[in-house]
A and B are shown apart, each in its own frame.
Chain A
Amino acid sequence: MTDVFAEAPAQSRKPTIFFDGVSSRKRQVMLTLADGLEIVEEDGAHVRWAYANIRRADSPAGVLRLASTSAPPLARLEIRDAALAADVTARCMRLDEHQTSRRGIAKIVGWSVAAAVSIVCVVLFGVPLAADRLAPLVPKPVERRIGDAAEVQMKAIFGRGVCEDPAGKAAFTRLVNRLRDAAGLDDDSMTAGVLPTAVPNAFALPGGKVFVLKGLLDKAESPDELAGILAHELGHLKHHDNMRGLLYNGGTSFLIGLLFGDVTGSSAVIFASRSLVEASYSREAEAAADTFAIEIMHALGRSPKPAAELMFRITGKEGGSTLTTILASHPLTEDRLKRMSREDRPASGPPLLTDKEWRALKGICGSGKV
């Protein structure tokens, strides 16, 4: 090491700067490369860093910036002379030990892929299974509370209250009760109503709520058409589809959000991947509700076909584009019509409503326009 000592006087001219990590004072120092790195200030103050403790710190190009594990954490030595920097680098064997290496990156990649695969598996298999098992176990009061909240929201959207014409209401109740009995729904707190809006649709809410929108009622030409649709909604209630959907949606967006680092699950990626996964799930639920509707209508001795015809009148032909086929949440109407037509049987039971009741039902919202 004697030759190194011989070089030492020459190094004093080289711009080497030392910050002691205690104050921001800029100290011009001389380096001596002995058994350790000797840092000597102009006034003779003296620090020694062992080579094994020296680590590289971030620096701009052309500057070698060093720290030492045994010095104050922010103490820095800045060598701006390339030759001297190379000299020091050669002696510090553990200079880059703390940096993320290729192996470190491979580890990050490996573990993230493992995490992603397990999350995807849970989304595809675990969540549907859990939703199926848990939905029937949700206590009725809880389900009803959620349903109440949704009902208030729906009424806020569609405006005003439920249609109240007494004769119409009696007819509607009779129709719903017949379907309910046939469906074997023991939910005595079941509520059903007609909402005064021109949108042609019907929906079921958690806690045994079924709503028909006035628009659908206007388009219906016979009690059987309406009954088929109602039976389909009762199917959703029977299968706890709302709660299943809620658990499934919540679980899926939470897990996918976990993956992309957004717990609220509101970003576009999450929305996109979720809607693809969920569309198929809800199509299964819709198909199951259709099956249920077919069974009930048969049990009542009526044909399920009119309901599908009503749907077809409302939606028209839907298929054609591949994208809509992939994204649709309901089975395509023409497929449903085909299916229900196959199940068409001549009526063997009594009509569900008399003509008089049917007329009363049509007028349940009064004659006023909506």
Chain B
Amino acid sequence: MQWVPIGSEPLPPPLPPTRVDFTGNRSEFRKLVTKGAMLELITFGFYRFWLVTDIRRHLWSNTAIDGDAAEYTGRARELLFGFLVALAILVPIYVVYFLVGIEFERWKGFASTPLFVSFYAFGQFAIYRARRYRLTRTVWRGVRFWMDGSGWAYSSRAMAWGLLMFLTLGLALPWREASLERYKMQHTHFGDLQGDFDGDGWEFFKRGWWLWLLTPLALLFFPAAPFLYAEFKAREWRWWLNGIRIGDVGLSSDLPHHAFYGLYWKVIGWWLLLTIIYGAYLGAAIAITVKLDLAPSAQGAAPGVNIPMLVVTVIGYFALALGANIVMRVYLQRDLWAKVLETVEVHNIGAAADVRGSGQLASALGEGFADGLDVAGF
């Protein structure tokens, strides 16, 4: 027990940093996602809300900071509701998009392409809102995290930086991330502690500029790409973690730059294997169809769809998607999470010893784009 009795007296400043422990059982997680993926398959994807919630509950409740595990209090019902509301809002937007697109096209070919940009903006808004939902469902020591700020303000920043990224061929990425992260973290709170982001773009740039130079090479020479991406992600994570502050509490990480090599290659290996199995399966199915002469007769002018073949193909495709999903979740969510956390140190945790809870739950519509698209105000 590293529990320290905390009274109202001030703590001596040079407290050793505490670690973050991840105690999740890997095979338990694997069972969770396997079962979830199967249910997702037979429910045509509707189970995803429950699966995502279960994954988060597992990861959160097995992550202990200073000996106390976090908790995820979000529920799948909220996600389902958010999805339905988002549908209700998005459908009319798509109709308008379609009609405006036609008018633009009449004026000039492909003039409606920039309209895609509006979807990018919408996506950024959604990212911010989704983060807010997840954060307000994150509880540690009986106090929740929460967020203020505006999704649209965030979205417009993201758009402006996106344009700059485009103009500089990606070189502006570190400054973009620093700026957006600062916005997100400064609007993040744990009880009455306010968050901040201490990382700066220049530092990130110094750590990864040569990756930018090598990118064209990786595009030409495929096997280099996973290495490059793994390098980039590890550097990005480390830089990000080192910048995070909540009140006087700070994080640091010494994540090695080669930390993710193994993970990415395992995922690629599994995907290759799954694809080969799927290919063999399809080949066998076609061979059997041809042999049994189940193919549609070439006589009629409008031969019907070959139903057995269609069913076989679709089932195989779903099985492939299921396998790929399990692989992705085990390696890229659980293992990556564990790998990152074991390098994290928390400094001055005493500053969070007596925080008053505050902040409201982000509307129950949560990850959907409800509460009037921010128009209603908050």
CB contact between A24 and one of B107, B305, B353 (< 8 Å): that residue: B353
> Is B61 touching A146 in the complex (CB atoms < 8 A)?
no
B165 located at the interface, meaning its Cβ lies under 8 Å from any Cβ of chain A in the complex: no
> Is A263 touching B142 in the complex (CB atoms < 8 A)?
no
- The complex places the Cα of A63 from the Cα of B317 at a distance, in Å, of 41
A344 located at the interface, meaning its Cβ lies under 8 Å from any Cβ of chain B in the complex: no
> Is A25 touching B353 in the complex (CB atoms < 8 A)?
yes
B64 cross-chain contacts in A, Cβ below 8 A? 60
CB contact between A60 and one of B62, B107, B110 (< 8 Å): that residue: B62
Given contacts A21-B357, A24-B354, A59-B71, 20 further A-B contacts (CB under 8 A): A15-B3, A19-B143, A21-B143, A22-B357, A24-B191, A28-B5, A59-B69, A105-B39, A112-B45, A116-B43, A148-B105, A148-B106, A156-B108, A157-B109, A259-B44, A276-B305, A276-B313, A326-B309, A331-B302, A336-B301
- The complex places the Cα of A331 from the Cα of B119 at a distance, in Å, of 38
CB contact between B50 and one of A63, A100, A287 (< 8 Å): that residue: A100
Task: Check A24/B72 contact, CB under 8 A, given A59-B61, A113-B42.
Answer: no
Encode contact with A along B286-305: 1 for CB under 8 Å, 0 otherwise. 10011000011011011111
B320 CB, min distance to chain A CBs, angstroms: 10
Interface residues in B26-79 (C-beta closer than 8 Å to A): 39, 42-48, 50, 57, 60-62, 64, 68-69, 71-73, 76
A348 located at the interface, meaning its Cβ lies under 8 Å from any Cβ of chain B in the complex: no
A166 located at the interface, meaning its Cβ lies under 8 Å from any Cβ of chain B in the complex: no
Encode contact with B along A155-182: 1 for CB under 8 Å, 0 otherwise. 1110000000000000000000000000
- Give how many B residues have a beta carbon under 8 Å from the other chain's beta carbons: 76
Chain A residue nearest in CB terms to B119: A264
> Is A150 touching B1 in the complex (CB atoms < 8 A)?
no
- What are the 3 tightest A-B residue pairs by CB atom distance, in nearest-first order? A156-B109, A19-B142, A149-B105
> Is A108 touching B353 in the complex (CB atoms < 8 A)?
no
> Is B105 touching A263 in the complex (CB atoms < 8 A)?
no
A284 located at the interface, meaning its Cβ lies under 8 Å from any Cβ of chain B in the complex: yes
Chain A residue nearest in CB terms to B1: A15
B365 cross-chain contacts in A, Cβ below 8 A? none
> Is A335 touching B298 in the complex (CB atoms < 8 A)?
yes
Task: Check A150/B357 contact, CB under 8 A, given A108-B47, A113-B43.
Answer: no
> Is A322 touching B306 in the complex (CB atoms < 8 A)?
yes
- Give how many A residues have a beta carbon under 8 Å from the other chain's beta carbons: 72
A17 cross-chain contacts in B, Cβ below 8 A? 3, 68
Task: Check A25/B6 contact, CB under 8 A, given A19-B142, A75-B142, A335-B298.
Answer: yes
CB contact between A146 and one of B73, B102, B356 (< 8 Å): that residue: B102
Task: Check A325/B296 contact, CB under 8 A, given A60-B62, A156-B110.
Answer: yes
Chain B residue nearest in CB terms to A19: B142
A20 located at the interface, meaning its Cβ lies under 8 Å from any Cβ of chain B in the complex: yes
B83-91, B150-158, B251-259, B326-334 - the one binding chain A: B83-91
Chain B residue nearest in CB terms to A148: B106
B42 cross-chain contacts in A, Cβ below 8 A? 109, 112-113
A58 cross-chain contacts in B, Cβ below 8 A? 57, 60-61, 71-72
Chain A residue nearest in CB terms to B68: A26
- The complex places the Cα of A28 from the Cα of B352 at a distance, in Å, of 17
A15 CB, min distance to chain B CBs, angstroms: 6
Encode contact with A along B88-104: 1 for CB under 8 Å, 0 otherwise. 00110010001001111
Interface residues in B330-371 (C-beta closer than 8 Å to A): 352-357
Task: Check A263/B94 contact, CB under 8 A, given A152-B105, A156-B109, A280-B305.
Answer: yes
CB contact between B143 and one of A24, A258, A335 (< 8 Å): that residue: A24
B43 cross-chain contacts in A, Cβ below 8 A? 108-109, 112-113, 116
Task: Check A24/B140 contact, CB under 8 A, given A259-B44, A276-B305, A322-B309.
Answer: yes
CB contact between B141 and one of A24, A145, A153, A319 (< 8 Å): that residue: A24
A22 cross-chain contacts in B, Cβ below 8 A? 142, 356-357
> Is B310 touching A326 in the complex (CB atoms < 8 A)?
yes
Dominant secondary structure at the B interface: mixed
B57 cross-chain contacts in A, Cβ below 8 A? 58
B118 located at the interface, meaning its Cβ lies under 8 Å from any Cβ of chain A in the complex: no
Task: Check A145/B102 contact, CB under 8 A, given A24-B191, A322-B306.
Answer: yes
Encode contact with A along B190-202: 1 for CB under 8 Å, 0 otherwise. 0100000000000
A6 located at the interface, meaning its Cβ lies under 8 Å from any Cβ of chain B in the complex: no
B176 located at the interface, meaning its Cβ lies under 8 Å from any Cβ of chain A in the complex: no
22 contacts between A and B (CB under 8 A): A17-B68, A19-B141, A19-B142, A20-B142, A21-B143, A21-B357, A23-B191, A24-B140, A24-B355, A28-B5, A59-B71, A109-B39, A113-B44, A149-B102, A157-B109, A258-B87, A263-B90, A269-B321, A272-B314, A273-B314, A280-B302, A332-B298
A21 cross-chain contacts in B, Cβ below 8 A? 142-143, 357
- The complex places the Cα of A115 from the Cα of B356 at a distance, in Å, of 45
B139 located at the interface, meaning its Cβ lies under 8 Å from any Cβ of chain A in the complex: yes
A112 cross-chain contacts in B, Cβ below 8 A? 42-47
B25 cross-chain contacts in A, Cβ below 8 A? 61
> Is B142 touching A260 in the complex (CB atoms < 8 A)?
no
- The complex places the Cα of A62 from the Cα of B210 at a distance, in Å, of 46
A232 located at the interface, meaning its Cβ lies under 8 Å from any Cβ of chain B in the complex: no
B182 located at the interface, meaning its Cβ lies under 8 Å from any Cβ of chain A in the complex: no
A353 located at the interface, meaning its Cβ lies under 8 Å from any Cβ of chain B in the complex: no
> Is B69 touching A60 in the complex (CB atoms < 8 A)?
yes
A118 CB, min distance to chain B CBs, angstroms: 11
A332 cross-chain contacts in B, Cβ below 8 A? 298
